[in-house]
Chain A
Amino acid sequence: MRALLREALGRPALLALALGSPLAAGAGAVVRAWFLARGIQAAFLEAAPPADLLPYAVGAAGSTAVLALARGLATAGGGALAAEVKAAVRQRLAARVAAAGPERLGEPPARVAMALSDAVEGLDGFFRGYLPALAEAAAVPLGILVLVAGFEPLSALVLLVTAPLIPLFMVLIGRWAEGVTARQWRALFALGAYFADALKGMATLRVFGAEGRARKTLERLAEDHRLATLRVLRVAFLSALVLELLATLSTAIVAVEVGLRLLAGRLGYLEAFFVLLLAPEYFGPLRALGAQFHPARSAQDAAATLARLNAAPLPRPAPACPPGTPPGLVLQGVRFRYPRGGGGLEGADLAVGPGELVTLVGPSGAGKSTLFKLVLGFLDPDAGTICLNRRPVRPDRFAYLPQTPFLFPGTLRENLLLASPQADRAALRRALERSGLDEVVARLPSGLETPVGEGGLGLSAGERQRLALARAFLKRPEAVLLDEPTAHLDEESEARVLAGILALRDEGVPVLAIAHRPALIGAADRVVRLERGRRLAGEAERAV
């Protein structure tokens, strides 16, 4: 929350507008109440002629204009503040995500994406609604209280006693309602989930002639949900009753109290009527603040998520490579422990020379993936050095084929050019040929312009691997890392991808692959086993 407030303080003009305008509106309402009270007194008790009433009417109209302007500015200012803060938070978070890399964030990608879109959006209510309401609730009732105390202390006392009850009740009720609605939310969720599944599974339902039954189930679930929810709401909405009662009853008590004292002649009409007019202005901001309880709570949750991600560690500067390090990819005494335990490396040594294909084998959990993340620079080793051609590694010096290469929504060409935006036609053609992607492209009616990814053509696992290979050929990296590139492929596709990998190696690039399948292991120049003890058994095993 503190970070968010700092963000708002960085925009003092908007902040002043968002916080100051509600106060101006409150002041406008008070001034208008006075003009009105005075005017009515003049018309009713003094039977003043129109000319004498005119100043009060003009005063009330003028203060209305101030009030309207201030209300408008409050809405515009709060909205602008929320918009600017969200944009800034988004930009900063995106930069942090990119700087930290996928592994240091400590959250799965889907959660990171949610944080960037939904969590940031969750801040909206805090700046647009809660902050202005808080400023108004903090200052306006207090101002009115002081004002009333100046000429009518007893009414001020009534106001003072009843005021804190409203936000207190609203928070209590808000908390309680949260629990209740959470339970009801599950019932609604069941209904929603069944609706979604029934749509998704319509083919299945129709195959079994069950579409009519599904419709009935949907009807029954909705009715169940309605009855269950109404039972709960009957109790939950008592809160609305209590609140409404507090606010209106307090006004009623003030009215009767000043009325009786007026009758007894202890109070003038102007003062009494002025107090009555001020009572709604006094309670209004408090009720408005209570209504902001929920947005404020969700903004708090969102802020916690964002703070966690923004605190993700950045890459540490890597130590220089020891003199005499050979060219190629060289790991020396690499140690790594996950902060939360589980897996890791305890002194790994490995060298992959230029033009060499080394496959890494070993049981799952032996640390193969961890080693890849370290080599790519997505994690920092606790000790040891990782060098590529005698310089510390950085992600952008590699080509990398994960198990399921990511397809960016866009055309096939855009996905390829990611690897090398300036690639010319000849380079593109060569990459297509050597990766075997040209066969895939030839089958597509729109060729390289075919849209892929979400909303486009879903490429098969083998086609994706060939695309990733083509990216690798385009980039001309200093080394290539492959994470089980043939895991999901049929034999035909596997053979083609394998040929591509060997072609890459033959260009003189060090290639390191994680593999389970025999074909890739068989094609390796060297096979290295990562032991359970998380120590690399050097270069013990040789390929047959």
Chain B
Amino acid sequence: MGEFRDQSDYYLLDPPHIDELISVLRGLGYSVIGPIVREGAIVYDEIESASQLPVGLRDRQRPGYYRLEERGDKAFFGFVVGPHSWKRFLYPPRFKLFTVSRKGEVTTHNVGGKKMAFIGVRGCELAAIQVLDKVLMGGPYVDPVYSTMRRDLFIVAVNCTEPGENCFCLSVGTGPEVGSGYDLSLTEVVGDGIHYFVAKVGSSAGKSLLERIGVRRATGDEVSEAAARMEKSRTLFRKSLDVTGLKDLLYRNLESPVYAEVAERCLACANCTLVCPTCFCTTVEEVTTLSGNVAERWRRWDSCFNADFSYIHGGPIRSSRLSRYRQWIAHKLATWIDQFGVMGCVGCGRCITWCPVGIDITEEAAKIRQRELEVSAT
């Protein structure tokens, strides 16, 4: 529990402080984005006060299943992750890149200087943002949209004291505690008549925000209680991904019979990639008017599960669902490492929950491992 070793770093926030935190950030010109309930799910959108948070709710998740229910307490962050991820704001689903006139005048569309503050970023999500940093800003070609949105980002991270049923961050090393890269992190302690947040400072901006709110340091007991909750959280995981030699396992088993079985169920609907917090593929499309005087270039999210994604002269390279699923899982868990030095999966479980037919990436990886063992045993 290195996270809680140095007690001098911790501050104590009472529930009303969360609202203050949001208003101070708004006062500083941030557009504050946090979890809210909409149409039976917890999604991310701009918020103005803490009263909009999903207070007292938890999310029940199974493969292909998500429901909200009452927790019986007033927890502010008593749920895990929903159908949205922060990439929606850092890497918008549709974005107009430029307009060009018949005369050749080009107007580039910029993101504008909107400062964003994210409230409630989980360990897996923080890791996902860092994966996107590597992919979209780490090489010689820096994505202008992402890098602009990312620049002034303020992150209030939240430690998960209760993992969800589809969470497997513990096994991939991204949670349930948040890693580095936040401005403030919060551990919520709720129950038995107590409700407070132990805050840790992650940046000077985070520290100055707490100073503005005027909060006291947390006592040793309060920090210990938060640490105990996190210790317990680590024992509650039900799902895991065995990453031992995973990359080579997938490379050795490109013809695994597991792929044909998963293709029977896979809808190639692209949901898994679009809810994934690290999937970054886009396509561009040109739009012209009837008069032909103006053309626009738009960028929008795309997916390796769409046939046109691999379209070249003559047809798509990956025409079967089998080849598309294999491309996705092999990229996420293996080739991503060769490309970017990290795995593309952060263990958030979204692809499992939001797959309409509940295909589970941890199960499929385990099946591929199992099948190899069976074959080598015979």
A and B found bound together: no
* B interface residues, Cβ below 8 angstroms from A: none
